[in-house]
Amino acid sequence: MQVFMIPKFHNEPFTDFTLAANQEGMKAALAKVRGELGQKYPLVIGSDKIETQDQLVSTNPAKPKEVIGSFSKANTDLAEQAMRTALASFESWKKVCHKERARYLFRAAALMRKRKFELCSWLILEIGKSWAEADGDVAEAIDFCEYYGREMLRLGAPQPVTILPGEETELYYIPLGVGLVVPPWNFPFAILVGMTMASVVAGNTVILKPSSETPAIAYQLIKIMEEIGLPKGVINFLPGPGASVGDYLVAHPKTRYIAFTGSKEVGLRINEMAAKPQPGQLWIKRVVAEMGGKDSIIVDKETDLDAAADGVVASAFGFQGQKCSACSRAIIHKDVYDAMVKKIVDRTKALKMGSPEERQHNYGPVSSKSAYESILSYIKIAESEGKIECGGESKSSTMDGGFYIEPTVVSGVGPQARIAQEEIFGPVLAIIKADDFSHALEIANNTEFGLTGAVYSNNRDHLERARREFHVGNLYLNRKCTGAMVGAHPFGGFNMSGTDSKAGGPDYILLFTQGKSVAEKF
């Protein structure tokens, strides 16, 4: 008997931008959001909105002189205030029925759906996503709300346990406490929403420290949660420097867990700091970390080369290669190597670079000046480690000073080359030749990471072998290695790619809860 009547989960449909009505809707939303640029935003701690003189300024990577917004920065005193507020709010929030908590997520999803074009516009302007990439980001955020709400209904219901004679036995899941949520700039709405909503629906309270690159889209979540009436102090909005505010909260004895998505280096630092108990700390802190990737697509000799080339280019250069799941290495069987290189290069040259505000452009700027400089430095390295088949040039001087770099394909790269081993996090694809399928698998597994990977092959034995031996958290066969869908592809990686959290899957909410067994003898 169903006691909570909601539809079965299904993924949010992507917007069809070939329809004139959707094109006009997006243009209107871009104009509306443009009219809101340049505002100042406060910290939000409980019911207090706090302004500070020290400001974090968010700019448009396509037009770096254009200010998206100015955000008050926290310091350690304000971080302590946020912790005290979150602790106080936890005492009441943890007692709220799991069904009621789930309803907040469903209401948030409905509001996000209603404002999809506006949310996309913030992503386009603040971090340079194309229309399609922004739409995918918002759709995933909606999916996280809908999926995690349903998951909490499942976990909040009576759990199956063995019944002993003369006893009543129960297992239920209770929240952890105050969590520090540190989302990335590359999926600044979807991943932020996913980590935050999983925390909230499980009964925890959150200190949300958004990326310094994308505080404006993060603030849109705060506005949505205020509008739907989420109690004050359940989510506290705390932009600030990681080296002070972030470290302070990671080390804080009252922090119960840290949910982090970002670089390997920062993730390892968080893990190390969290592992050291502080005076007054009563628990082992939990760390949920999604970190880097150096992801490979293997192209076997027995496959559809056109489909493989489509998948490689989409995975390598979607959102300018700024995805932890992006294909940064194409490992190609020697028998089809030359043909595949040509197909990849032809498709890469066909990408349309330009302002992400225009629908026809599917390739925009990289995220920031620091990313731009780092990627260009790797392209210099690539010149000595292989042959640059196409791209490799900055286009900043001809495009409003935006951080534009041509999509870059490098052939003849050795398996141990720097551009084949180090995470570049940008539009640079290394192409590596493999002698046979065994050699391809050996190369694919030769990095410290283990996030995503793909194999294009019509050889069933090879596909089955990849299932067993390709050591990644998310493996895709005969499709691209990006675009994990909530519910279908629980996401998280092995090795230095993180704690394999499996976001968007049935195990994820458990990371934000603890199981309590109760037995009463009669």
- Distance separating alpha carbons of residues 293 and 303, to the nearest angstrom: 25
Amino acid 81 reads Q
> Residue with structure tokens 């998310």?
474
pLDDT for 2 equals: 46
State yes or no: is 324 an active-site residue: yes
Q: Which two tokens stand for residue 70?
A: 């100015």
- DSSP string computed for 313-343: HHHHHGGGG-STT-EEEEEEEGGGHHHHHHH
| DSSP3 helix / strand / coil % (the chain, rounded to 5) | 40, 20, 35
Q: How far is CA 369 from CA 329, 403, 477, in A?
A: 24, 7, 36
Long-range contacts of 108-115 (CB under 8 A, 24+ apart): 108/145, 108/197, 108/224, 108/225, 108/228, 109/142, 109/145, 109/146, 109/149, 111/224, 111/227, 111/228, 112/138, 112/141, 112/142, 112/145, 112/193, 112/224, 113/12, 113/142, 115/224
- Give CA–CA dist 373/350, Å, rounded: 24
Question: Looking at the DSSP assignment, which residues form a beta bridge with residue 430?
Answer: 329, 410
Pairing of β 513-521 and β 167-175 = antiparallel
DSSP 267-313: HHHHHHHHHS--TT--SPPEEEEE----EEEEE-SSS-HHHHHHHHH
Catalytic pick among 118, 290, 385, 406: 290
- The CATH label, of 1.10.260.40, 3.40.47.10, 3.10.580.10, 3.40.309.10, for the domain at 295-486 is 3.40.309.10
How many Å apart are CA 195 and CA 207, to the nearest integer? Answer: 11
Delimit the domains of the chain by residue range: 21-291+501-521, 295-486
**Per-residue pLDDT tens digits for 332-341:** 999 999 999 9
Domain 21-291+501-521 falls under CATH 3.40.605.10:
yes
Q: What is the dihedral of CA 352, 355, 356, 359, to 10 degrees?
A: -60
Span 246-282, pLDDT tens digits: 999 999 999 999 999 999 999 999 999 999 999 999 9
The active-site residue, picked from 120, 145, 324, 390, is: 324
pTM: 0.97
3-state secondary structure of 400: coil
**Which residues of the chain have a pLDDT value below 50?**
1-2
pLDDT at 3: 52
Identical fold, 21-291+501-521 and 295-486? no
Active site residue 97: no
